[in-house]
Amino acid sequence: MPELPEVEITARRLDARLRDAEVESAMSPGMVALKSVDPPLAALAGRQIAGVCRVGKMPIVEFEASSDSDERIAMLVHLMSAGRLQVFDKRASLRDRTARVLVRLADGRELRLREFGTKQRAWAKLVPAGAVEADEMVATLGPEAWPAPPPEELARRTAQPRHLHPMLRDQRVIAGIGRSWVDEVLWEAALSPFRQGSDLEDEEVERLHGAMHVLGDAIDHYEEVIGDVVPDKLPMPLKVHRREGEPCPRCGATLAAVHFAEHVTTYCPDEQTGGRVLKDRRLSRLLK
């Protein structure tokens, strides 16, 4: 799933390619992909794209006011696990099963929300640009993970009796981190994924705060290696995530992992869990 660094580079590249492009028409072949009715998709016709930005893990495409309405419109997109927002030189075939929302441009190109796999979970919604911040998906977000909020704010937000791994992925606590980058942040901070947020010492919160730079480093990496077009699969500069069994790049210990139903967390036992290899929850459930 695209997280803060991946969505940021996607938004930057789309912004560079789409700014000022004029919309010819828009449609939503994914029956459930459009989550709003007002303003309608038809309201985008004739508008210019004002720019593309990001909030948390969500790209936002903004459209200029039109001759009919002096209000800008924003398209808020949630990519979920398998969605991609991409621009193509040609229009999608009507049989393209990955197409969810299509914004056809007057110059022949097409901005396309696609989704791989059979599930339809990615979505988009149109809102008046001035209403983005009040939208429930945006209003409930915690501060952006990068640049990191001040340590005092991070301390306040993480002071909860919850494990760090799920808590840092909770967008209401801090926005932008998902299943891949949480492993990298915790490894960088040398903190156990199963540490309780409310147990953190000040010095540990400082470490967590300092570790958020891995998100900024990833954006810098993408700026270097990604051209005009963001590929379907980004070359993510991950050091520990899904590298179970490989040596820790910092201390050489063998990286361990705990598997959950839908995700896996990878960590360095020597540096993050005091030498303990944590029980695999998948196995322990079976053995119960």
Binding site for Zn ion (CB under 5 A): 248, 250-251, 253, 268, 271
Closest chain position to Zn ion (CB): 248
Q: Which lies closer to Zn ion via its Cβ, residue 229 or residue 251?
A: 251
Closest CA to 11 of 80, 128, 138, 111: 111
Q: DSSP secondary structure string, 65-132?
A: --SS-SS-EEEEEE-TTTEEEEEESSPPPTT-TTEEEEEEETTS-EEEEEE-SS----EEEEEEGGGT
Q: Which lies closer to Zn ion via its Cβ, residue 200 or residue 240?
A: 240
Min dist CB 218 to Zn ion, Å, is: 20
Tokens 């501060």: give the residue.
143
Joined tokens for residue 152: 């005092």
How many whole angstroms separate alpha carbon 192 and alpha carbon 270? Answer: 10
How many whole angstroms separate alpha carbon 99 and alpha carbon 108? Answer: 17
Q: Which lies closer to Zn ion via its Cβ, residue 108 or residue 249?
A: 249
Q: Which lies closer to Zn ion via its Cβ, residue 75 or residue 186?
A: 186
Q: What is the CA radius of gyration of the chain?
A: 21
Joined tokens for residue 19: 């700014």
Min dist CB 247 to Zn ion, Å, is: 8
Min dist CB 131 to Zn ion, Å, is: 46
Min dist CB 249 to Zn ion, Å, is: 8
Min dist CB 91 to Zn ion, Å, is: 49
How many whole angstroms separate alpha carbon 283 and alpha carbon 288? Answer: 9
Min dist CB 211 to Zn ion, Å, is: 14
Closest CA to 14 of 175, 236, 237, 226: 226
Q: Which lies closer to Zn ion via its Cβ, residue 55 or residue 268?
A: 268
Q: Which lies closer to Zn ion via its Cβ, residue 250 or residue 259?
A: 250
